[in-house]
Structure 1
Amino acid sequence: MIYIGVTGWGDQDRLYGPHTSPRNKLKEYAGFFPTVEVDSSFYAIQPIKNAQRWVEDTPPSFQFIVKAYQGMTGHSRGDIPFETKEHMFQAFRDSLTPYIVSNKLAMVLFQFPPWFDCKREHVEYLRWCKKQMGDIPCALEFRHQSWFRSSFYDRTIQFMNKEEWIHSICDEPQSGEGSVPIVLESLGKKSVLIRFHGRNVHGWQKRTENWREVRYLYRYNQKELRQWVEHIKKLEKETEHLYIVFNNNSGGDAADNALDLIDLLGIEYENLAPRQLDLF
């Protein structure tokens, strides 16, 4: 099955009116898409009560992709607010309980920073992370080009396959070492993830005050999305569950592009949440 959605549900004005209560946004979002990426978990390990509420706000078949906490992926370079790394991973695993109990956890996404390059100590850390997560399904996304250089490409794929990582395939600007190419490898796994970051090559490496808003400011056109249709059909034959999320949220384009792709693939989802009816 192909699950299409976006990263985060809080800023998707395309889907609900400007006066919609934050408490109801996920409920309305779930009337359009069968999956979402939880990005708040990257900034702080979420209280169990949050996940419990989100699980209750979505239909039984809805699936969550939960982003790993930044302390687990090396984004926060200072001290972690935990006694040890083991305690940090334990706290994160505990926060996943409502998703797991309700069978709504698609995977945990480990997205590593651009400075996480291909070298022995980083390979060993990936092994350690996977061991800490136990049997929880985990996706791996690189942001440094070295992992897919010709000299490491085959070994990277073999390593991910052996360690049972779900592959997070990226569509992003090709802008030096801090970006990775499109690598259409399913690894023969039960699940595969595709993340659309946009193709704003000029804003990808900028570190201005509002760099996050600039980096993901992009709208895919129909030609670009059609090029992906064949890739998606190929991957669909190789895996049981194909998850696709759009991360080009800066200009409010993610939801539109996700709906566009659903139309291009001719998908009609069943078992979505009931949509709110307009007054007229």
Structure 2
Amino acid sequence: MSGKAPRLVLPEPDPELYARSSELAARAREPALTGNVTFGTAGWTDKTLVQGGLFYPKGTQSAEGRLRHYARHFALVEVDATYYSLLPPEVAAHWLEWTPPSFVFDVKAHPIVTGHPVDVERLPADLKEALGKTGRVYPERMPGEIRDEIERRFRALVEPLQAAGRLGCVMAQFPPWFTATRGNARKLEQLRERWPETPISIELRNKSWLLPERRARVFELLRAQRFAYVCVDEPDVEQGGVPPVTVVTNPALALLRFHGHNRAGWSKKGASVHERFDYLYGPEELAAWVAPVRALAEKAERVHAIFNNCVRNYAVLGAKGLSVLLEATPPAE
């Protein structure tokens, strides 16, 4: 009996849409960037990308080979593995070695930072033993010293990237139940107190933060804490969908994350990551983002556009396609 994991079977994309998206992406410069706007994907090792032979050359099996190949196409990546596991600093050292000096990493914050439940099985053995629990545990239900140690180890991975000038930001994605309350606003302030010198971006996933009567105060809070607001493009579902508001709250960096519009998968209870993000942006959808991206680029020193629809090569096509359209479309007079 083979020990290999079964190949994931996904619905086939629309052939005509896939062809047009591929043709557009093929025109992208390498790496994909336009002016002060840099494009990338959330991760570079998704199994549907690796297995499909859609991006990596045949025979590219090593971690080094994959990242070196990715870095020829993009100058930015969002590291999502840090959300699931505590990686040792040596991993960051390898990333720095395998990528050009201009390559930048946005690092997704560990759940201990954002209040998501922590998967105990993914913790190092000593922390599992000290915690004495199994399953998924919310940070507030952990002893303070263990919370602090988990965050310290996450920071230990971030520090080499920041010291090398290669950290774009720590991307803190807060959970849908993180609502707009005074207590949660204070948690954002405390995050800055714990990470005073680190560039941090904030993705809010509950609509309450962006109600018309409240959003100005929310953005002022983010400005006061030097946080970059993360503009998201996602299914606007009643259960937590957030509208795509573009705003610069830190003049050093503006961030966009494209999640796709797979409404059925997004709201499906127990849906897998691939079910939620199985969405291919077409050229027309991407073209609608040219003006908002350019507006951000006029107000921020740097703009990071991250595609998180990491199914097959959909994120690669989206990131490259938007870069082509931004470069090809002249600014409005």
Whether TM-score is above 0.5 comes out as yes
Q: Deviations over 1:38-69 (max 9, x none)?
A: 00000112100111101110000000000000
Q: Is the 8 A contact 1:10 1:22 kept in 2?
A: no
Paired residue secondary structure (1:146): helix
Give the CA RMSD over aligned residues: 1.7
Q: Is the 8 A contact 2:115 2:138 kept in 1?
A: no
1:89 CA displacement: 2.6
Correspondence for 1:243 among 288, 291, 304: 304
Shift in CA distance, 79/199, structure 1 to aligned 2, threshold 3 Å: closer
Q: Distance in 2 between matches of 1:27 and 1:70?
A: 28
Q: Is the 8 A contact 2:55 2:313 kept in 1?
A: no
Shift in CA distance, 240/92, structure 1 to aligned 2, threshold 3 Å: same
Q: Match for residue 182 of structure 2?
A: 120
1:113 CA displacement: 0.8
| Paired letter, 2:103 | F
Q: Distance in 1 between matches of 2:163 and 2:186?
A: 30
Aligned residues: 266
Paired residue secondary structure (1:30): helix
| Equivalence map 1:164-179=2 (5 Å) | 164-179=226-241
1:79 CA displacement: 5.2
Structure 1 range deviating more: 132-141 or 17-26: 17-26
Q: Match for residue 215 of structure 2?
A: 153
Query: TM-score w.r.t. structure 1 length?
Result: 0.90
Q: Distance in 1 between matches of 2:250 and 2:111?
A: 28
Gaps of 5+ in 2: 1-35, 118-135, 329-333
Q: Which has the larger radius of gyration?
A: 2
| Paired letter, 1:34 | A
Q: Match for residue 212 of structure 1?
A: 273
Q: Is the 8 A contact 2:88 2:153 kept in 1?
A: no
Paired residue secondary structure (2:306): strand
Gaps of 5+ in 1: 268-280
Q: Match for residue 73 of structure 2?
A: 32
Structure 1 stretches of at least 4 aligned residues deviating more than 6 Å after TM superposition: none
Q: Is the 8 A contact 1:137 1:165 kept in 2?
A: yes
Q: Match for residue 31 of structure 2?
A: none
Q: Match for residue 295 of structure 2?
A: 234
Q: Distance in 1 between matches of 2:37 and 2:198?
A: 20
| Equivalence map 1:77-88=2 (5 Å) | 78=137, 83-88=145-150
Shift in CA distance, 150/79, structure 1 to aligned 2, threshold 3 Å: closer
Identity between Structure 1 and Structure 2 (%): 32
Asked if 1:139 is matched to 2:201, the reply is yes
Paired residue secondary structure (1:36): strand
Query: TM-score w.r.t. structure 2 length?
Result: 0.76
Greater helix share, 1 or 2?
Answer: 2
Q: Is the 8 A contact 1:89 1:132 kept in 2?
A: no
Q: Match for residue 39 of structure 2?
A: 4
Q: Distance in 1 between matches of 2:167 and 2:44?
A: 16
Structure 1 range deviating more: 145-154 or 35-44: 145-154
Asked if 1:190 is matched to 2:249, the reply is no
1:262 CA displacement: 1.6
1:151 CA displacement: 2.7
Q: Match for residue 272 of structure 1?
A: none
1:203 CA displacement: 1.5
Correspondence for 1:16 among 49, 56, 60: 56
